[in-house]
Structure 1
């Protein structure tokens, strides 16, 4: 992405108003599992790291991100753009979300090349888009399930199903519609995965150059370990992530405590509360749901 494109996208992000147009629904309903999961900053942070690790296990996606984005040199703006895209997709008015997704898709259409092994790729290949969608859903869902509140089998299936309309707009027609489909997709993609130093470089960048906001900042390294911990076992075995040992009992309980606290503290200026206002719901609506 060029500097001009980054500036334009940043300006677009600042102009997004989750309270408008008044009454217009989002792609996903407010009583959904997704609206509950995406409101939690700890789950978003941990799950986002997990998703990128899974993406980087796939050589074509890893090469595309590393060679066609500013992530390696300036990761924070890209992470913010990715976070904004997630918020708009889940909480934005449908017309706003569709417009933003169309813009993201146009940028992805220009991303193409070859891996170091000579395998050609295009970012909008359905197989790659399906994988990106699946990794994001898996990361956010598992982070919430493990470190905020356990979700039932039915709730986890609903979370995947709720993402399908947005997945189709992003160009992921084969995104998983249930946890069973997610597991099947992971198994089918596994033979393509490979260990690579970029995975560990990514984690080093996150650990040293990207800080959590405010009171969550001291938890950065624990969040990295948590993100690694919730990876599927076979993928964790493939990647050399020995520098990130499993959390001990106290550390796991600490993250769960923080996750549950942040799940009950409404931030009235944040997209979830503003989206509730757009739909005529109290800004605390999501924070009192069981």
Structure 2
């Protein structure tokens, strides 16, 4: 794999647009290139550093993760009643994207501080589900599920639409998430593919259909995430995310064939995923983090 740099008239707007995905309004931009030499939670030769640089895999995997989260009633109620997702979905996605980038590429000290702030916010979120079941956002079972779905979504999106991952690679990726998961309080989050399968089996009785899942998918299709000209592609990203959800979960949620990709659409997304994996965005968190550690800009674009 060789890094791809577009002609300047195209490269600049693409980079500006990519920055918008992780730049919440009203916040100063985060400089991932400083302080020089500061390590991240994961080393730059980790698989996570390669995967999280791909914007298509992150978008598809993030949507898939939320579908799975919303299938669990306590997480669903907490997200829908205690976050700004419904009224400001783009800003919410930007904040989530920035948190993901900080967890992988950010300087360790800043990442730990950010995760601690998230933990304090979780400690304040509590309530009851519509059926009267009490919940707390810092419940270890819920934290484990959220971390598990995130790991699952990102790696399966990369495997499906960018570069196939074998089971050994999946084991390595789950293992790499161990430290950040524990910092988030998810001490039982999966550290292997077998752990992930066990969590699916444990959580299966709790997962259920809800109109909120469909409301979320509609929001993801119509929110101004991509420019108007790219809105059709946005709908494809949503369908691509649905396809990542295990078939038994899709069936339980009522996600039928209308949410499946056609073969040519799947081929287009795979082409886009491979191109995105080569596209070197010079001010992206991944490239800035490489500069911080004295590595060349194309470090993450070299052969596997």
Q: TM-score, normalised by structure 1?
A: 0.93
Q: Indicate which of 273, 283, 291 corresponds to 1:269.
A: 283
Higher relative contact order (CA closer than 8 Å, sequence separation 6+): 2
Q: Indicate which of 153, 162, 175 corresponds to 1:161.
A: 175
1:18 matched residue in structure 2 = 32
- Cα distance change, pair 213–138 in 1 and its aligned pair in 2 (3 A): farther
- Cα distance change, pair 215–260 in 1 and its aligned pair in 2 (3 A): farther
Q: Quote how far apart the aligned CAs of 1:213 are.
A: 5.8
Q: Quote how far apart the aligned CAs of 1:74 are.
A: 1.2
Q: Indicate which of 103, 116, 126 corresponds to 1:112.
A: 126
Asked whether the equivalents of residues 13 and 84 of structure 1 are also in contact (C-alpha less than 8 Å), the reply is no
- Cα distance change, pair 23–215 in 1 and its aligned pair in 2 (3 A): farther
Q: Quote how far apart the aligned CAs of 1:14 are.
A: 2.4
Give yes or no for the alignment of 1:81 onto 2:78: no
1:284 matched residue in structure 2 = 298
CA distance in structure 1 between the partners assigned to 2:276 and 2:206 by the alignment: 37
1:5 matched residue in structure 2 = none
Question: SS in structure 1 opposite 2:259?
Answer: coil
Runs of 4+ in structure 1 deviating by more than 3 angstroms, as ranges, are: 9-13, 213-218
- Cα distance change, pair 76–184 in 1 and its aligned pair in 2 (3 A): same
Q: Indicate which of 68, 72, 75 corresponds to 1:61.
A: 75
Q: Quote how far apart the aligned CAs of 1:11 are.
A: 7.7
2:15 matched residue in structure 1 = none
CA distance in structure 1 between the partners assigned to 2:283 and 2:229 by the alignment: 18
Q: Quote how far apart the aligned CAs of 1:17 are.
A: 1.5
- Cα distance change, pair 226–121 in 1 and its aligned pair in 2 (3 A): same
- Contiguous gaps of at least 5 residues in structure 1: 1-8
Superposed, which structure 2 residues align to 1:23-38 within 5 Å?
23-38=37-52
CA distance in structure 2 between the partners assigned to 1:193 and 1:202 by the alignment: 16
Asked whether the equivalents of residues 264 and 288 of structure 1 are also in contact (C-alpha less than 8 Å), the reply is no
Question: SS in structure 2 opposite 1:113?
Answer: strand
Asked whether the equivalents of residues 170 and 192 of structure 2 are also in contact (C-alpha less than 8 Å), the reply is yes
Asked whether the equivalents of residues 224 and 244 of structure 1 are also in contact (C-alpha less than 8 Å), the reply is no
Deviations 1:247-272 (A, max 9, x none): 12211111000000010011011100
1:207 matched residue in structure 2 = 221
- Contiguous gaps of at least 5 residues in structure 2: 1-22
> What is the root-mean-square deviation of aligned Cα atoms in Å?
1.7
CA distance in structure 1 between the partners assigned to 2:298 and 2:227 by the alignment: 22
Superposed, which structure 2 residues align to 1:1-290 within 5 Å?
10=24, 14-212=28-226, 217-242=231-256, 244-290=258-304
- Cα distance change, pair 174–216 in 1 and its aligned pair in 2 (3 A): farther
CA distance in structure 2 between the partners assigned to 1:184 and 1:261 by the alignment: 34
Question: SS in structure 1 opposite 2:127?
Answer: strand
Question: SS in structure 2 opposite 1:135?
Answer: helix
Q: Quote how far apart the aligned CAs of 1:170 are.
A: 0.4
Q: Quote how far apart the aligned CAs of 1:245 are.
A: 3.1
